[in-house]
Structure 1
Amino acid sequence: MNKHNIIIAVVDDHPIVIQGIVSLLAKYKNIQIAGTFNTGRDFMSFLPNNHIDVVLLDIMLPDDNGIDLCREIKIISSGTFVIALSNHTERGMILKMLQNGASGYILKNASVDEIINCIYAAVSGNIAFSDEIKAIIARPSLPELKGSPQLTKREKEVLQLVAQGKTTTTIADELFLSPLTVETHRKNLMKKFEAGNSIELVNLAKQHLIIKQNPD
């Protein structure tokens, strides 16, 4: 694909971000904004009946995990290039986005030149990063390269409640388990994540997108 008539969609739950991107891209005659969307579901309803060359996709949406959504987009429209749009700089998150089929990753503070260059690189079949992301990708991180630990359904339930700051007794009551069983799950989770304490456990789980980050 050449650089002519690139049809773009922007998916972000912050109107000011969308407005800024649309404004930045407006001066490029070969770029056409086909639509802007505040939720993942709105975009997924639009995509099957509309041709999109590039989607600038927020990682954290109110109704969707952008990394999972990226996989869905590529299944429905394999020819659509997905470029992540985020404030998050965790290397593990960037790698997961790429593993799910993304063609690039841009920070929201990227310059217009960086955004345009990434769009052109993506439609040319290359992987594209804003400058700061290039530096992050260049730094190897063994824990992130190992991938996400495999958790049971019950471990995920316990982990979510731990992330909410709930005590062992409260978790036991909510899940109809004994406190000893909850503690066993907690210990297994810490072992799988190689975490030293509950705070580290939660932070690692957020990096792996097993539990939700705070919205960006």
Structure 2
Amino acid sequence: MSDIKVLIADDHHLMVDGIKSLLDDVEGLEIVGVANDGEETMVFVSRKPVDVILLDLQMPKMNGFQVAEQIKKKYPKIRILVLTMYDKPGFIRELLESGVDGYVLKNTGKEELVEGIKTVNNGEKFFSKEVSGIFYDSFRKEKDENTFLTTREIEIIKLIAQELTSQEIADKLFLSHFTVDTHRRNIINKLGVKNTAGLIRYAYENGYFDLQN
């Protein structure tokens, strides 16, 4: 059985060196290259065979979201294991929707990282223990919140996150401006945030709007 060909896509040289030192002596893995930005990643996979990409989210020229989307469209057989410091549930949810195969944090250990690479290469999904815990806690929190947030309030949260004004929300939902403002105040009180900025931050962290926008 041939080695798993791994491409590291990350613009932080110290991180790249650390990953290489972790994986260099792992039997069955071969680091075939390093890409320091999104465009380099796309060029590399167009020229050389790659089985698994270790993908950072914040890279110049094309970010990880854009790279993941393009890879899955053009090279669906390549597996993507996101390796990032971002632990917000919204990021995890967004990447899941884009079709990535796994998600681990940069503080993960060697054993878990190797397990992740081998798992996604076999066509299975992989999430590190810490990411799984974050996602579970978010799901439980969202479930609890949704038991006391009405359907209308959740709808309004999503529209506020899209930066619509109260009047624009009112027009869209066929409500009065006063009714929307009342909902807004009730939502702020229920979530325990101080203002609309806090509400938008809540929406951002809990996946109520497209993180690429």
Output the TM-score relative to the length of structure 2: 0.71
TM-aligned CA distance change 1:184 to 1:42, over 3 Å: farther
TM-aligned CA distance change 1:106 to 1:211, over 3 Å: closer
Answer yes or no: is 1:101 the counterpart of 2:99: yes
Q: 1:207 deviation in Å? A: 6.2
**4+ runs of 1 displaced by more than 3 Å?**
145-151, 181-188, 202-213
TM-aligned CA distance change 1:20 to 1:90, over 3 Å: same
CA offsets, 1:2-43, max 9 Å, x none?
6x4100001111111111001100001321111111111111
Where structure 2 has 5 or more consecutive residues not aligned to the other structure, the ranges are 147-153, 173-180, 189-194
Secondary structure at 1:59 match in 2: coil
Contact 2:81/2:100 (CA < 8 Å) preserved in 1? yes
Counterparts of 1:57-72 in structure 2, within 5 Å, are: 57-72=55-70
Distance 2:158 2:202 in 1: 14
Corresponding residue of 1:19: 17
Which of 125, 128, 131 in structure 2 is aligned with 1:127?
125
What amino acid does structure 2 have at the position aligned with 1:198? Answer: A
Contact 1:206/1:212 (CA < 8 Å) preserved in 2? no
CA offsets, 1:149-190, max 9 Å, x none?
479xxx97xx5xxxxxxxxxxxxxxxxxxxxx97856999x9
TM-aligned CA distance change 1:69 to 1:5, over 3 Å: same
Question: How many residues of Structure 1 are paired with residues of Structure 2 in the alignment?
Answer: 184
Q: 1:211 deviation in Å? A: 6.0
Contact 1:68/1:100 (CA < 8 Å) preserved in 2? no
TM-aligned CA distance change 1:185 to 1:40, over 3 Å: farther
CA offsets, 1:17-76, max 9 Å, x none?
111001100001321111111111111122122211000001122333312321111111
Corresponding residue of 2:196: 197
- Taking only aligned residues, the RMSD between alpha carbons, in angstroms, comes to 3.6
CA offsets, 1:117-156, max 9 Å, x none?
001111111111112112122221438x9899479xxx97
